[in-house]
Amino acid sequence: MKIGRLLILVALILLIAMLAIFWKLRQSAKPGAPGASASSPAAQQTIPVVVAAQAIHRGTKITADMLTTVDLPADKVLQTQLTKPEQALGKRAVRDLSQGMFLTEGDVAEKLTVGSEGSLASLQIPPGSVALAIPLDRLSGVAYALQPGDHVAVIATFPFVDVDEEFQSILPDKVAAIKPPQTSGGQESGPTLTAEVGEGSGAVGKTVEDETLGISLYAVPSEPQRARLSTQMLIKDAAVLYVGTFPRGSNMTLATAEEGNPQPQQGNKPQGQKPAEASAAVEQQNAPDVITLVVTPQEAVVLKYLLDRRVPFTLALRAGGDDSDLSTNAVTLSTIIDSYEVVVPSKLPYDLNPRIDKVLPTRLRGDAVATMPPQ
């Protein structure tokens, strides 16, 4: 009997000891409990990092309400990340910052000036591209609809003429009068020949046969050589960096359209004009005359060459978000006649009166007089 009670007592003691050990192990496994592993996630240190609490546009001066902080594990924080809002307060955003974006040292700057820190414009050019400015007017610039961030195609027309390959001058060549050697008393004064182009010298023509008279005639041009035009899209996709002239000065900050292209002031209306005409004149006077495009280095060289050759450009606005390949064929007069079945009229023994030599746009009463570029 006594042995049975003793065995029961020993069993109870062992059970209590096992329960105590089990409880101790459960307590040591809880987060934050003494003895927990130092390498567990709960034991890692965290560091606050600065985050944009709202969207911040490039050039904007950063204030406290634009920022917040979040805690990140210390081993996940980059060395360039900002850890205190004070590191960004009063500075300007170098680029557009989206809401929730972690701020780094390169995202903010004291001043966005042209100098050691570079210009704000240069920060908007993708690596491997360059920016180049070309002339702009109302017709070539899509009626001034273009804005920074748009994408355009560049179209150019080439006026080809025939030239003398050796002289590199426009054909036809002029006829030169050759003076024979001068003589004195029947004797030649010397072995000299003098060639000169006299006043009103004619152009080199060609011989034509008149079948009616049965004689040969010498025909010369009735007017200077006409250029043969060819039009092609040279650049299919170029981003618009800015429209108009960039603001100048050492304190250049965010370049807005209003700063670069001031709106007409009420006191600048030309005298003696109707309000609508005066407003249009002032608007034209303040219109941008230059546009800056982001292109590849090779495209920049092409544009520079054509600028030097005085080849005018026309910009075509691309659809937003469209990155498809715009393939085109060069267009000449023959292309239009063949592709669109234009009929070249026959010579008839009658015509309409009055005589029409140029096709001009029809003007309606009240239309403003458009200023056409010089031909």
Domain-by-domain residue ranges, the chain? 43-110, 125-160+227-253+288-339
Count the neighbouring beta carbons within 10 Å of the beta carbon of residue 295.
23
Measured CA to CA, the distance from residue 328 to residue 340 in angstroms comes to 16
Q: What is the pLDDT, as a whole number, of residue 236?
A: 96
Confidence (pTM): 0.60
Give the pLDDT mean for 324-350: 94
Amino acid occupying residue 361: P
Give the pLDDT mean for 121-132: 87
Measured CA to CA, the distance from residue 347 to residue 273 in angstroms comes to 48
Tens digit of each residue's pLDDT (9 = 90 or more) over 229-260: 999 999 999 999 999 999 875 444 444 433 44
Maximum mean pLDDT: which of 75-84, 107-116, 254-263, 311-320: 311-320
pLDDT > 90 in the chain, percent: 46
Domain 43-110 coded CATH 3.40.50.720: no
Question: Which 3 state secondary structure label does DSSP give 101?
Answer: coil
Two structure tokens written together for 153: 């195609």
Measured CA to CA, the distance from residue 10 to residue 4 in angstroms comes to 10
pLDDT category, 106, cuts 50, 70, 90?
confident
Measured CA to CA, the distance from residue 294 to residue 239 in angstroms comes to 5
pLDDT category, 75, cuts 50, 70, 90?
confident
Contacts of 370 (CB under 8 A, 6+ apart): none
Residue 2 has pLDDT above 70, yes or no: no
Poorest-confidence range of 138-142, 241-245, 271-275, 371-375?
Answer: 371-375
pLDDT category, 273, cuts 50, 70, 90?
low
Residue 138 has pLDDT above 80, yes or no: yes
What does DSSP say about strands 228-243 and 151-160: parallel, antiparallel, or unpaired? antiparallel
Residue with tokens 């307060």: 89
